[in-house]
Amino acid sequence: MTKDILKDMQAYREELTAIRHDIHKHPETAFEENRTADIVAARLTEWGIPIHRGLGKTGVVGTLKGKRQGQRAIALRADMDALNLQEKNTFDHRSVHDGKMHACGHDGHTTMLLGAARHLAQDPDFAGTLHFIFQPAEEGEAGARVMIEDGLFEKFPCDAVYGMHNMPGLPTGHFAIRPGPMMAASDTWTTLFRGTGGHGAMPQMGTDPTQPAANFITATQGIIGRNVSPQHAAVISVGHIAAGAYGSPNVIPSDVTIRGTARSYTPADRDLLERRLAEIAHGIAAAHGCSVEHHYLRRYPPLVNAPEQTAIALKAAALTVGPDRTDGDVEKLTGAEDFAFMLEQKPGAYILIGNGGSIEDGSCHYVHTPHYDFNDQIILTGAAYWVNLVNVELGNAA
């Protein structure tokens, strides 16, 4: 069955590659994916798939009914947005927009799902209903949540939802997944220590917020080492520090701002990180005679794959590339994904497809870097995976 799928898809390999290159060349960031959405909508319409536009501002949903009777409905999701990053590639399809780049492969994700839509529209030999979700704003703006808030699952009810992401360093066309928590919750915290500041030569005349700030940065790692269970995984990292003026090193600043990220996989650990960061910030500030303002923002929840849907995804992957090229127990990732919002609403699974190369020897570039590019060799593999997933889920698998 898979060989037939891939053989049939060869007829439009060049067309899909051209679509991917066109989207890559014209990147659009969060909630501005109008041109990309136009391409998606035009193609789906051309293939006879009814569409709905406007969920999440620029989202597109196509719905395909199987030609056989069935009550089950599933959804397949691809993200469309690019990043605010200057591309350093020199190939012909490099970005034409300064400061914007498809550095995470969403151009490829969109193309793979379009390829599956084209193939399935030609002969929808399945039982039930299939929704193709093309989502905006995955990169930090929670487009999945916005689509849900706009009524995604009320307008397009489904029993399960599936996502896929490319993974540099994983061999080309291999698949990897795990049941349960697979990607971390991503939260942002901001801590502002306030003192009086003063002359650097006379620190006793005021209160110095750099002292509690320095102690706080060191103490945050004690949360990981002494509060989080050794059997769990969590991360606290500082990503921004701001204080004083570069030209006045003899002035003790009156305030210090520290911002960072917190990653965790369970609700209990997420609660723990939020609580302990606040407790330590307030305790250290008081010990140094300073005040503190501390804010913790919950951004993306942990991505949790349902066991049943994980098994279905793994079966579809094995049908596509063979069981020797699939991994059902991949290590957890500390990155985050807003597809997690959809998995909070519906059972489903999120799988990785290998983009190839090796990070260690420099034969590939990781996502979110200026030399990254999606691997065109996996467009048909990813599209065939989606088709096999539909066949497994909606009753047409061998």
User: What do you get for the CA distance between the two ends of the chain, in Å?
Assistant: 7
Tens digits of residue pLDDT in 224-253: 999 999 999 999 999 999 999 999 999 999
Q: Mean per-residue pLDDT for 176-191?
A: 98
Task: Give yes or no for a contact between 150 and 55, defined as CB atoms under 8 angstroms apart.
Answer: yes
Q: Is the per-residue pLDDT at 84 higher than 50?
A: yes
Q: Beta-carbon neighbour count of residue 94 at 10 Å?
A: 16
Q: CB-based contacts of 259: which residues, under 8 Å, 6+ apart?
A: 188, 189, 190, 191, 238, 239, 240, 241
> Amino acid identity, residue 126?
F
Determine what percent of the chain falls in helix, strand and coil, rounding each to the nearest 5.
35, 25, 35
Q: Is 153 exposed, middle or buried (0-12, 13-18, 19+ CB in 10 A)?
A: middle
Amino acid type, 98: D
Phi (first) and psi of residue 51, to 5 degrees: -125, 160
Tell me if 126 sits within 8 A of 68, measured CB to CB.
Answer: yes
Say if CB 348 and CB 309 are below 8 A apart: yes
Q: How far is 335 from 185, CA to CA, in rounded Å?
A: 8
Return d(Cα 377, Cα 174) in angstroms, integer. Answer: 12
CA atoms within 13 A on the CB side of 285: 20
Mean pLDDT of 314-341: 97
User: What separation in angstroms does the CA of 144 have from each of 6, 80, 183, 195, 310?
Assistant: 30, 11, 16, 41, 20
Give the CB-side neighbour count of residue 190, counting CA atoms within 13 A: 8
The answer to whether 303 touches 340, Cβ cutoff 8 Å, is: yes
Length of the chain: 398
pLDDT at residue 205 in the model: 95
Tell me: pLDDT of 257 over 80.
Answer: yes
**Contact criterion met (CB below 8 Å) for 110 and 306:** no
**Is the pLDDT confidence value at 1 over 80?**
no
pLDDT over 70 (residue 278): yes
pLDDT at 101 over 70: yes
Which pLDDT score is estimated for 21?
98
Tell if the pTM clears 0.85, that is, is over it.
Answer: yes
CA 330/CA 353 separation, integer angstroms: 12
List active site positions: 81, 138
| Residue keyed to tokens 């399960």 | 160
Measured CA to CA, the distance from residue 147 to residue 134 in angstroms comes to 10
* Residue 260 β-bridge partners: 189, 238
Q: Return d(Cα 322, Cα 94) in angstroms, integer.
A: 33
Say if residues 218 and 263 touch (Cβ distance below 8 Å).
Answer: no
Q: Assess contact for 150 and 56: CB atoms under 8 A.
A: yes
Place of tokens 């151009």: 107
Flag the least confident range among 58-72, 133-147, 280-294, 354-368. Answer: 354-368
Q: How many H helices and E strands in the chain?
A: 11, 16
The radius of gyration of the chain from alpha carbons, rounded to an integer in Å, stands at: 24
* Cα three-residue angle 182-186-189, rounded to 5 degrees: 155
Mean pLDDT, the chain, whole residue set: 96
Amino acid at 189: W
CA distance 113 to 218: 45
pLDDT in tens, 110-128: 999 999 999 999 999 999 9
Band the pLDDT of 398: cuts 50, 70, 90: very low
Q: How many beta carbons lie within 10 A of that of residue 306, not counting itself?
A: 18
- Structure-block tokens of residue 154: 């009320």
